[in-house]
Amino acid sequence: MYRAVFPLLKLLDPEVAHYAGVGVLRAIQQPFVRDLCHAITKPHASLKTAVMGIDFPSPFGLAAGFDKNAEVVTALSALGFGHVEVGTVTRRPQPGNPKPRLFRLPSDHALVNRMGFNNDGIDEVVNRLMLLRRLTPGLIIGVNIGKNRDTSAADAVHDYAVTARLAAPVADYLVVNVSSPNTPGLRALQDPSELLPIIDAVKAEAGLVPVLVKISPDSPDAEIRDVAALAREAGLAGVVATNTTVSREGLTSSAPEVAHAGEGGLSGAPLATRSLSVLEVVREAVGDDLAVISVGGVSTGSDVHERLRAGASLVQAYTSFVYRGPLLAHHVNRELQALRA
Protein backbone atom coordinates (compact mmCIF):
# COMPACT_ATOMS: atom_id res chain seq x y z
CA MET A 1 0.00 0.00 0.00
CA TYR A 2 2.76 2.44 0.93
CA ARG A 3 4.53 1.74 -2.36
CA ALA A 4 1.37 2.84 -4.14
CA VAL A 5 1.09 6.02 -2.07
CA PHE A 6 4.78 7.01 -2.08
CA PRO A 7 4.76 8.30 -5.70
CA LEU A 8 1.99 10.69 -4.64
CA LEU A 9 3.95 11.80 -1.58
CA LYS A 10 6.90 12.55 -3.88
CA LEU A 11 4.78 15.27 -5.43
CA LEU A 12 4.78 17.09 -2.11
CA ASP A 13 7.65 19.08 -0.68
CA PRO A 14 9.52 16.60 1.55
CA GLU A 15 8.97 18.64 4.70
CA VAL A 16 5.26 19.02 3.93
CA ALA A 17 5.08 15.25 3.35
CA HIS A 18 6.81 14.71 6.68
CA TYR A 19 4.23 16.75 8.58
CA ALA A 20 1.43 14.99 6.70
CA GLY A 21 2.91 11.72 7.93
CA VAL A 22 3.05 13.05 11.47
CA GLY A 23 -0.64 13.87 11.17
CA VAL A 24 -1.39 10.25 10.27
CA LEU A 25 0.71 9.07 13.19
CA ARG A 26 -1.31 11.28 15.53
CA ALA A 27 -4.40 9.33 14.50
CA ILE A 28 -2.62 6.08 15.33
CA GLN A 29 -2.21 7.34 18.89
CA GLN A 30 -5.94 6.99 19.53
CA PRO A 31 -6.14 4.16 22.09
CA PHE A 32 -8.09 1.66 19.96
CA VAL A 33 -5.90 2.15 16.88
CA ARG A 34 -2.73 2.17 18.96
CA ASP A 35 -3.61 -1.08 20.70
CA LEU A 36 -4.57 -2.73 17.41
CA CYS A 37 -1.27 -1.70 15.80
CA HIS A 38 0.68 -2.89 18.81
CA ALA A 39 -1.03 -6.29 18.71
CA ILE A 40 0.06 -6.69 15.09
CA THR A 41 3.59 -5.25 15.28
CA LYS A 42 4.73 -6.20 18.79
CA PRO A 43 8.29 -7.58 18.48
CA HIS A 44 8.73 -11.27 19.20
CA ALA A 45 9.95 -12.07 22.71
CA SER A 46 13.18 -13.50 21.27
CA LEU A 47 14.23 -9.97 20.23
CA LYS A 48 14.31 -8.59 23.77
CA THR A 49 17.65 -6.92 24.44
CA ALA A 50 19.16 -5.54 27.65
CA VAL A 51 21.46 -2.54 27.06
CA MET A 52 22.62 0.10 29.54
CA GLY A 53 20.46 -1.53 32.18
CA ILE A 54 17.34 -0.98 30.04
CA ASP A 55 15.16 -3.77 28.66
CA PHE A 56 14.42 -3.06 25.00
CA PRO A 57 11.66 -5.09 23.27
CA SER A 58 13.80 -5.09 20.12
CA PRO A 59 17.30 -3.86 19.28
CA PHE A 60 15.82 -1.82 16.41
CA GLY A 61 14.74 1.75 17.07
CA LEU A 62 14.01 5.07 15.41
CA ALA A 63 16.85 7.58 15.26
CA ALA A 64 16.64 11.21 16.29
CA GLY A 65 15.44 13.62 13.64
CA PHE A 66 12.00 12.24 12.85
CA ASP A 67 10.09 13.06 16.03
CA LYS A 68 12.03 16.14 17.09
CA ASN A 69 9.35 17.39 19.49
CA ALA A 70 8.10 14.13 21.02
CA GLU A 71 4.72 14.41 19.34
CA VAL A 72 4.16 10.84 18.08
CA VAL A 73 6.27 8.58 20.28
CA THR A 74 3.30 6.40 21.19
CA ALA A 75 2.42 5.78 17.54
CA LEU A 76 6.02 4.99 16.60
CA SER A 77 6.29 2.50 19.45
CA ALA A 78 2.98 0.96 18.43
CA LEU A 79 4.42 0.43 14.94
CA GLY A 80 7.11 -1.84 16.39
CA PHE A 81 10.12 0.34 17.14
CA GLY A 82 11.94 -0.96 20.21
CA HIS A 83 12.82 2.60 21.22
CA VAL A 84 12.36 6.12 19.92
CA GLU A 85 15.02 8.82 20.17
CA VAL A 86 13.42 12.27 20.13
CA GLY A 87 15.15 15.53 19.26
CA THR A 88 17.55 17.03 18.65
CA VAL A 89 16.20 19.36 21.36
CA THR A 90 17.83 22.64 22.36
CA ARG A 91 17.60 24.77 25.48
CA ARG A 92 15.49 27.41 23.74
CA PRO A 93 13.01 26.97 20.87
CA GLN A 94 14.37 27.75 17.43
CA PRO A 95 12.89 27.70 13.93
CA GLY A 96 15.89 26.11 12.23
CA ASN A 97 17.33 27.03 8.87
CA PRO A 98 15.38 28.69 6.04
CA LYS A 99 13.18 26.50 3.84
CA PRO A 100 13.46 24.49 1.67
CA ARG A 101 15.76 22.42 3.85
CA LEU A 102 14.83 18.78 3.23
CA PHE A 103 15.38 16.98 -0.09
CA ARG A 104 14.94 13.46 -1.46
CA LEU A 105 17.41 11.60 -3.64
CA PRO A 106 15.12 8.65 -4.51
CA SER A 107 17.50 6.75 -6.77
CA ASP A 108 19.94 6.60 -3.85
CA HIS A 109 17.28 6.00 -1.19
CA ALA A 110 18.75 9.03 0.53
CA LEU A 111 17.77 12.35 2.07
CA VAL A 112 19.66 15.61 2.36
CA ASN A 113 18.66 17.85 5.24
CA ARG A 114 19.82 21.14 6.62
CA MET A 115 17.03 21.48 9.16
CA GLY A 116 19.21 23.19 11.75
CA PHE A 117 17.76 21.78 14.98
CA ASN A 118 14.27 23.18 14.45
CA ASN A 119 12.41 22.32 17.65
CA ASP A 120 10.03 23.59 20.31
CA GLY A 121 12.69 23.83 23.03
CA ILE A 122 13.34 21.60 26.00
CA ASP A 123 10.59 23.01 28.23
CA GLU A 124 7.84 22.12 25.77
CA VAL A 125 9.32 18.72 24.91
CA VAL A 126 9.67 17.81 28.58
CA ASN A 127 6.03 18.77 29.22
CA ARG A 128 4.95 16.40 26.44
CA LEU A 129 7.14 13.60 27.74
CA MET A 130 5.86 14.03 31.31
CA LEU A 131 2.30 13.60 30.05
CA LEU A 132 3.33 10.69 27.87
CA ARG A 133 5.00 8.93 30.80
CA ARG A 134 1.76 9.18 32.79
CA LEU A 135 -0.53 8.04 29.98
CA THR A 136 1.66 5.37 28.37
CA PRO A 137 4.21 3.93 30.78
CA GLY A 138 6.83 1.48 29.57
CA LEU A 139 7.96 3.25 26.41
CA ILE A 140 11.73 3.42 25.83
CA ILE A 141 12.61 7.02 24.98
CA GLY A 142 16.00 8.59 24.35
CA VAL A 143 16.42 12.36 24.26
CA ASN A 144 19.00 13.79 21.88
CA ILE A 145 20.25 17.23 22.99
CA GLY A 146 22.18 19.99 21.22
CA LYS A 147 23.07 23.64 21.55
CA ASN A 148 21.18 26.58 20.10
CA ARG A 149 22.54 28.03 16.88
CA ASP A 150 23.24 31.42 18.49
CA THR A 151 24.99 29.93 21.51
CA SER A 152 28.72 30.46 21.28
CA ALA A 153 31.16 27.60 21.71
CA ALA A 154 32.23 29.22 24.98
CA ASP A 155 28.66 28.95 26.31
CA ALA A 156 27.89 25.52 24.88
CA VAL A 157 28.52 23.74 28.18
CA HIS A 158 25.75 25.76 29.81
CA ASP A 159 23.28 24.94 27.01
CA TYR A 160 23.95 21.21 27.23
CA ALA A 161 23.88 21.18 31.02
CA VAL A 162 20.54 22.97 31.34
CA THR A 163 18.96 20.82 28.63
CA ALA A 164 20.26 17.65 30.26
CA ARG A 165 18.97 18.68 33.69
CA LEU A 166 15.45 19.16 32.35
CA ALA A 167 15.45 16.10 30.08
CA ALA A 168 16.92 13.54 32.48
CA PRO A 169 13.77 12.92 34.57
CA VAL A 170 11.78 11.92 31.47
CA ALA A 171 14.50 10.14 29.45
CA ASP A 172 15.68 6.54 29.48
CA TYR A 173 18.96 7.77 28.05
CA LEU A 174 20.49 11.04 26.79
CA VAL A 175 22.55 11.62 23.65
CA VAL A 176 24.95 14.57 23.36
CA ASN A 177 24.81 15.67 19.73
CA VAL A 178 28.04 17.43 18.71
CA SER A 179 28.09 16.05 15.18
CA SER A 180 25.31 17.57 13.10
CA PRO A 181 26.70 19.38 10.05
CA ASN A 182 23.82 21.88 10.06
CA THR A 183 24.73 24.03 13.07
CA PRO A 184 27.79 26.19 12.37
CA GLY A 185 30.76 25.23 14.52
CA LEU A 186 29.02 22.31 16.20
CA ARG A 187 31.37 19.60 14.93
CA ALA A 188 34.33 21.50 16.39
CA LEU A 189 32.93 20.45 19.78
CA GLN A 190 34.02 16.86 19.00
CA ASP A 191 37.57 17.94 19.80
CA PRO A 192 38.35 16.23 23.14
CA SER A 193 39.32 19.52 24.79
CA GLU A 194 35.91 20.98 23.90
CA LEU A 195 33.93 17.79 24.40
CA LEU A 196 35.12 16.76 27.85
CA PRO A 197 33.63 19.77 29.72
CA ILE A 198 30.31 19.19 27.95
CA ILE A 199 30.30 15.50 28.84
CA ASP A 200 31.20 16.20 32.46
CA ALA A 201 28.43 18.80 32.78
CA VAL A 202 25.81 16.57 31.17
CA LYS A 203 26.79 13.59 33.30
CA ALA A 204 26.56 15.70 36.45
CA GLU A 205 23.01 16.74 35.53
CA ALA A 206 21.90 13.33 34.24
CA GLY A 207 22.47 11.47 37.49
CA LEU A 208 21.81 7.79 36.88
CA VAL A 209 20.44 8.29 33.37
CA PRO A 210 22.86 6.83 30.77
CA VAL A 211 24.63 9.40 28.60
CA LEU A 212 26.00 8.75 25.10
CA VAL A 213 27.74 10.94 22.53
CA LYS A 214 26.81 11.00 18.84
CA ILE A 215 29.70 11.24 16.43
CA SER A 216 30.27 12.22 12.79
CA PRO A 217 31.06 9.76 10.00
CA ASP A 218 33.25 12.41 8.36
CA SER A 219 35.95 12.40 11.04
CA PRO A 220 39.11 10.41 10.30
CA ASP A 221 39.35 7.07 12.07
CA ALA A 222 42.07 8.41 14.38
CA GLU A 223 39.76 11.17 15.61
CA ILE A 224 36.91 8.70 16.03
CA ARG A 225 39.19 6.55 18.20
CA ASP A 226 40.05 9.64 20.28
CA VAL A 227 36.37 10.45 20.89
CA ALA A 228 35.59 6.81 21.67
CA ALA A 229 38.48 6.66 24.13
CA LEU A 230 37.26 9.87 25.73
CA ALA A 231 33.77 8.41 26.08
CA ARG A 232 35.21 5.42 27.88
CA GLU A 233 37.52 7.43 30.13
CA ALA A 234 34.77 9.92 31.01
CA GLY A 235 32.43 7.15 32.06
CA LEU A 236 29.81 7.54 29.34
CA ALA A 237 27.33 4.75 28.71
CA GLY A 238 28.17 4.61 25.04
CA VAL A 239 28.52 6.10 21.57
CA VAL A 240 26.01 6.67 18.79
CA ALA A 241 27.64 6.12 15.39
CA THR A 242 26.89 7.95 13.20
CA ASN A 243 25.28 11.25 12.28
CA THR A 244 24.72 12.36 8.67
CA THR A 245 27.57 12.99 6.24
CA VAL A 246 28.55 15.99 4.12
CA SER A 247 30.13 13.65 1.58
CA ARG A 248 28.44 13.17 -1.80
CA GLU A 249 30.71 10.39 -3.04
CA GLY A 250 29.23 7.38 -4.80
CA LEU A 251 25.77 8.81 -5.48
CA THR A 252 23.82 7.61 -8.50
CA SER A 253 21.55 10.67 -8.51
CA SER A 254 22.20 13.10 -11.32
CA ALA A 255 24.47 16.06 -10.78
CA PRO A 256 21.54 18.51 -11.10
CA GLU A 257 19.58 16.59 -8.44
CA VAL A 258 22.53 16.68 -6.05
CA ALA A 259 23.14 20.35 -6.78
CA HIS A 260 19.46 21.14 -6.17
CA ALA A 261 19.63 19.48 -2.76
CA GLY A 262 22.64 21.61 -1.92
CA GLU A 263 24.43 21.62 1.40
CA GLY A 264 23.42 19.60 4.42
CA GLY A 265 23.68 16.17 5.92
CA LEU A 266 23.18 13.14 3.69
CA SER A 267 21.47 10.12 5.21
CA GLY A 268 20.26 6.78 3.93
CA ALA A 269 21.73 3.97 1.86
CA PRO A 270 24.89 5.80 0.69
CA LEU A 271 26.01 6.07 4.32
CA ALA A 272 25.83 2.33 4.99
CA THR A 273 29.43 1.38 4.22
CA ARG A 274 30.98 4.22 6.22
CA SER A 275 28.56 3.77 9.11
CA LEU A 276 29.48 0.10 9.39
CA SER A 277 33.18 0.95 9.24
CA VAL A 278 32.82 3.55 12.02
CA LEU A 279 30.90 1.03 14.12
CA GLU A 280 33.81 -1.39 13.87
CA VAL A 281 36.33 1.33 14.78
CA VAL A 282 34.28 2.45 17.77
CA ARG A 283 33.66 -1.06 19.07
CA GLU A 284 37.35 -1.87 18.90
CA ALA A 285 38.18 1.38 20.74
CA VAL A 286 35.65 1.05 23.56
CA GLY A 287 35.83 -2.71 24.12
CA ASP A 288 32.86 -4.62 25.43
CA ASP A 289 31.87 -2.32 28.28
CA LEU A 290 30.14 0.54 26.44
CA ALA A 291 26.99 0.49 24.36
CA VAL A 292 27.31 1.34 20.68
CA ILE A 293 24.20 2.41 18.77
CA SER A 294 24.70 2.03 15.02
CA VAL A 295 22.87 4.41 12.65
CA GLY A 296 23.21 5.03 8.93
CA GLY A 297 22.03 3.15 5.86
CA VAL A 298 19.96 0.57 7.75
CA SER A 299 16.78 -0.60 6.03
CA THR A 300 16.35 -4.37 6.48
CA GLY A 301 16.53 -7.05 9.12
CA SER A 302 19.67 -8.29 7.41
CA ASP A 303 21.24 -4.85 7.87
CA VAL A 304 20.38 -4.90 11.57
CA HIS A 305 21.72 -8.43 11.93
CA GLU A 306 24.99 -7.38 10.27
CA ARG A 307 25.39 -4.39 12.59
CA LEU A 308 24.71 -6.49 15.68
CA ARG A 309 27.29 -9.04 14.58
CA ALA A 310 29.77 -6.19 13.99
CA GLY A 311 29.43 -5.03 17.58
CA ALA A 312 26.34 -2.83 17.75
CA SER A 313 24.30 -3.00 20.93
CA LEU A 314 21.29 -1.33 19.29
CA VAL A 315 20.54 -0.24 15.73
CA GLN A 316 18.54 2.74 14.51
CA ALA A 317 17.08 3.97 11.22
CA TYR A 318 15.36 7.08 9.95
CA THR A 319 15.63 7.54 6.17
CA SER A 320 14.43 4.00 5.45
CA PHE A 321 11.27 4.85 7.41
CA VAL A 322 10.56 7.37 4.63
CA TYR A 323 11.28 4.92 1.82
CA ARG A 324 9.92 1.64 3.24
CA GLY A 325 6.96 3.16 5.05
CA PRO A 326 5.21 2.93 8.42
CA LEU A 327 5.59 -0.84 8.74
CA LEU A 328 9.38 -0.63 8.53
CA ALA A 329 9.97 -1.71 12.13
CA HIS A 330 7.47 -4.56 11.85
CA HIS A 331 9.18 -5.91 8.73
CA VAL A 332 12.67 -5.45 10.15
CA ASN A 333 11.76 -7.20 13.39
CA ARG A 334 10.25 -10.16 11.51
CA GLU A 335 13.27 -10.38 9.21
CA LEU A 336 15.62 -10.25 12.20
CA GLN A 337 13.62 -12.90 14.04
CA ALA A 338 13.85 -15.21 11.01
CA LEU A 339 17.61 -14.71 10.78
CA ARG A 340 17.98 -15.63 14.44
CA ALA A 341 15.78 -18.72 14.22
Dihedrals phi, psi of 9, to nearest 5 degrees: -65, -30
Task: Average the pLDDT over each of 9-18, 107-116, 164-173, 207-216 and give the range with the smallest value.
Answer: 9-18
| CA dist., res. 276 & res. 241, Å (int) | 9
| CA dist., res. 82 & res. 304, Å (int) | 13
Buried b (16+ CB within 10 A) or exposed e, 215-235: bbbbbeeeebbbbbebbbebe
Residue 134 pLDDT grade (very low, low, confident, very high; cuts 50, 70, 90): very high
- 244, 221 Cβ separation under 8 angstroms: no
Q: How far, in Å, are 11, 238, 312 from residue 241 at the CA level?
A: 32, 10, 9
pTM: 0.95
- 174, 167 Cβ separation under 8 angstroms: yes
Residue 7 pLDDT grade (very low, low, confident, very high; cuts 50, 70, 90): low
69 sits in which H/E element: none
- 179, 196 Cβ separation under 8 angstroms: no
| CA dist., res. 236 & res. 318, Å (int) | 24
Task: Report the domain count for the chain.
Answer: 1
225 sits in which H/E element: helix 221-233
Tell me the average pLDDT across 89-94.
98
pLDDT value at residue 340: 87
Q: For residue 254, what are the domain limits?
A: 2-340
| CA dist., res. 267 & res. 176, Å (int) | 19
155 sits in which H/E element: none
CATH number of the domain where residue 118 is located? 3.20.20.70
Which of 101, 40, 37, 39 is closest to 68 using CA atoms?
101
pLDDT value at residue 3: 53
- 117, 180 Cβ separation under 8 angstroms: yes
Q: Mention every residue, 6+ apart, whose C-beta is less than 8 A from residue 198.
A: 156, 157, 160, 176, 178, 189
Residue 6 pLDDT grade (very low, low, confident, very high; cuts 50, 70, 90): very low
| CA dist., res. 158 & res. 153, Å (int) | 10
Tell me the average pLDDT across 130-152.
95
Q: Which of the two residues, 214 and 185, has the higher pLDDT score? A: 214
Amino acid letter, residue 51: V
Query: Which residues form the catalytic set?
Result: 180
Mean pLDDT of the chain: 94
Which of 40, 43, 37 is closest to 333 using CA atoms?
43
